[in-house]
Structure 1
């Protein structure tokens, strides 16, 4: 029997987590034999922690945050859309990585700011080799995934403070013949996309769902939101970076359209 403010998050075949908000405690139980310490760490930091932060009030988005010229660009999309790869490539190009999985948003008197729930970067081995070469050490993220947790001591040792949010980018496409393009989304469309990519401890809580919808609507009307399409080809990364910087400089006044993919 769960008490007031308690809930259980279950991850089939791995473990369950008892969250007690009033006691500010997390208890892991029913840990299965197949679960490794890396699995538990991944579940705790990448799945449980963002939901706990969201339960406390702020809007928490499932996305990567990169600071560009003092402002934060947030990249969102379904699993496999390329959020982490894009964030890693921007970090490698000299921009400050906040984290690649969860971004906490706050509205203040001067607009929106954002920061990562915790500094992280998880990539497939071939992406690590392409972006970092031999410069980055890595370790398994979880036994059921090929992704590796990249050891970037510079971001772990000095977590980035909150930064003003300059734009949101929803990643789409990923095929070789996709155009390199960014299209400004309508606020109503952007609002629903933001809701879909937000964390919630209890999605069935109608009051908190209404709160997330209101937060998402306000964000979509205050910050430029783009749909970003590009071929998943490292050869076009420099052009993709240039397009993102152009969008951030445009202040959301118009869509920025890029030229066709590099192999056209």
Structure 2
């Protein structure tokens, strides 16, 4: 990878040198030592036939192999290098979807971060995150806060570090938010730009934001979303209940077939336990009606002791 052809970005507190353009990320100018490199490389003799299910090999002598037949094979060679072998004629922009999702999710876990499947925003210096099942409305709830002037810190991958101080710190991701078209119409986020669908039939569209939170920020609240209530509500969770929820919505559960590494599993358990003990984890009851989201925002702001103007 030559300096002339490389792209340089910043995300999750890391400087990334890449052979592949990742327009989702913040570009870095000038000299900066990379923490992670992403390179095009041929490391498989033969790519699996398209149409096969995804293949994950966590015990390869080369590293961790993650293959989506018909798209690309990815090798996490160590905690700072990702090798990419695309299928012939695959558009390069298709590669960002797995790189910035499962591949980076695993890389961040390998680098010692706790990764939760969540969206997060910063409100007047307070960082709050929304966890939940698929289609629970994590991104949609975040969008309702952005419409009122909050700043996005992440969507999908909530990367948390726990320094010696004990405070959980969220690293900023990149300025995009996934929304279904009906949610994007109802909740117009100022300055957002809808992008083409990743592929036909995909249920959500990426929306590029003009700005986001750039600083690592202490995590103040974690809300587990429950949809379908008649009125918004907040129900506190005990540390034991919070621990179960954090384990359930950890990004690593997507890699359940990975071999158990006692040291990493212990570190993950301890991180979840530390956050659960700090408190601030609660159930957020969210009505299914999109027009009710402003009332949800008001309730959370009251809980935080913050204020945002109505749009």
**TM-score range normalised by the length of the shorter chain:** 0.7 to 0.9
Aligned equivalent of 1:8 = 65
Higher relative contact order (CA 8 A, sep 6+): 1
Q: Which runs of 4+ in 1 moved over 6 A?
A: none
Contact 1:171–1:227 (CA under 8 A) maintained in structure 2: yes
Separation of aligned partners in 1, 2:166 and 2:184: 37
8 Å contact kept, 1:39–1:141:
no
Where do 1:56-95 residues align within 5 Å?
56-95=111-150
**Match in the other structure for 1:260:** none
Measure how far apart 1:245 and its partner are.
Answer: 1.5
1:162, CA displacement in angstroms? 1.0
Please name the residue that 1:20 is paired with: 77
Can you list the C-alpha shifts for 1:99-158, whole angstroms capped at 9, x where unaligned? 211122122326222123333211112221221279532113421513111121223xxx
Summarize the Cα distance change of 1:212–1:132 in structure 2 as closer, same or farther, 3 Å threshold. same
Offset, 1:32: 7.4
Number of aligned pairs? Answer: 242
CA RMSD of aligned residues (A): 2.5
Whole-angstrom CA distance in 1 between matches of 2:179 and 2:143? 9
Q: Give the TM-score of the pair, scaled to structure 2.
A: 0.70
Aligned counterparts of 2:225 and 2:91: Cα–Cα separation in 1: 31
**Conserved 8 A contact 2:119-2:139:** yes
Gaps of 5+ in 2: 1-58, 307-311
Paired residue secondary structure (2:168)? strand
Distance, in Å, in 2 between the alignment partners of 1:79 and 1:38 is 24
Counterpart of 1:138?
194
Task: Select the residue among 243, 246, 261 that pairs with 1:194.
Answer: 246
Pairing partner for 1:113 from 169, 173, 179: 169
Q: Which residue is 1:185 aligned to?
A: 237
TM-score, normalised to structure 1's length? 0.82
CA distance in 2, matches of 1:54, 1:17: 16
Structure richer in helix, relative to its length = 1
Q: How far does residue 10 in structure 1 lie from its aligned partner after superposition?
A: 2.9
Q: Is the 8 A contact 1:67 1:97 kept in 2?
A: yes
CA displacement, residues 45-69 of structure 1 (integer Å, 9 cap, x when unaligned) = 1221122011111211111110012
- 1:77–1:83 contact (8 Å) kept in structure 2: yes
**The structure with more radius of gyration:** 2
Please give the per-residue CA displacement for 1:3-48, whole angstroms capped at 9, x wherever unaligned: 26x11123355333111116x3222236377x64443211111221
Contact 1:88–1:131 (CA under 8 A) maintained in structure 2:
yes
Task: After superposition, give the CA deviation of every residue in 1:62-86 in whole Å (9 maximum; x if it has no partner).
Answer: 1111001201001111110101011
The unaligned stretches of length 5 or more in structure 1 are 251-264
